[in-house]
Amino acid sequence: MTSNVLTSDMFLASRDAVPEGLRHGVVAIGNFDGVHRGHQAVLKAAIERARIVGGPVAALTFEPHPRQFFRPDVPLFRLTPDHVKAELFAALGLSGAVTLTFDADIAALSAEAFVKRWIADGFAADQVIVGYDFHFGKGREGSPVKLSALGLTHGFQVTIVGAQSGEGDTPYSSTAVREALADGRLEEARGQLGYRWFFESEVVHGEKRGRDLGYPTANMALDPAVTLRHGVYAVRARDVRSGGPILFGVASFGRRPQFDNGAPLFETHFFDFADDLYGRPLEIELIAFLRPEARFDSVETLIEQMDRDSVAARHAIADVALDPFGPEALTSAREQPAP
């Protein structure tokens, strides 16, 4: 996505307030972590309703994730932080999004108070779209059925989207995506998401061992809660700020057992690229899981394996080089003509 999406007042800048341009339209409500195919069904239903009745279509979501608020001691692998969700919302064709800060005040609102404050008064919504398992209000007292009843009181209609599933009737879920990524099953995660999973992080200085090995790397520290499988990956990347050309490479994520066995680090060697990337935020898209992290008998043996990894990564990347990057896969699917 272009950088103007990330700075739009209708997306990231609209925390805890509803821009006038998003009022009197259709609202889809949920956490939407991952914006997987189940979430997309809710959002696409909202977009379709907006086409029929007119007006804007927006997402109403929450940060931090309510699970993090109620259980701060339990790490949660966030698939799509707020700014990444904004990219995916824009790619699907939403007009914008409002992100509520999930705090003690929000948690204490009754279902009816939440509806009045945010849906009726804030959005002045004509239509509300939610998933079948959506709950809200203090103690999760609110359900889709209760939301429908409150809609009659406050003058908006509610559409409830049923459970969605893929091949083998496996339900789409953020948990399933996390489990697939933790096992290195990237194609399964992609099947759940409808796009290849990607993350954003800033390039930091490392020990620079890669230069000595003939494989200089761009190093990134991921959130400690990320449970991505440690190992070697074929990847694509792009500079978030410049919107420059897509880079291709081979990456290692893990604790570097050959050397220090320290904190996990994502280290990417980009092919045919030598510019300075320090301090730049990059989006990294995972193409293929090549092998688990391992310790070798010698540095020479490690280098030989890195050579093989590079060949394998180039082969994997060649098959997808022209595919849309990350969220653009959703834009591409949206723009395909109807069968």
Catalytic residues, by residue number, are 267
Closest to 102 measured CA to CA, from 52, 64, 157: 64
- Residues 335, 314, 197, 245: what is their CA dihedral angle, to the nearest 10 degrees? -60
- Distance in angstroms between the alpha carbons of the first and the last residue of the chain: 26
Task: Respond yes or no on whether the N-terminal peptide bond of residue 64 is cis (omega within 30° of 0).
Answer: yes
Nearest alpha carbon to residue 57 among 12, 88, 92? 92
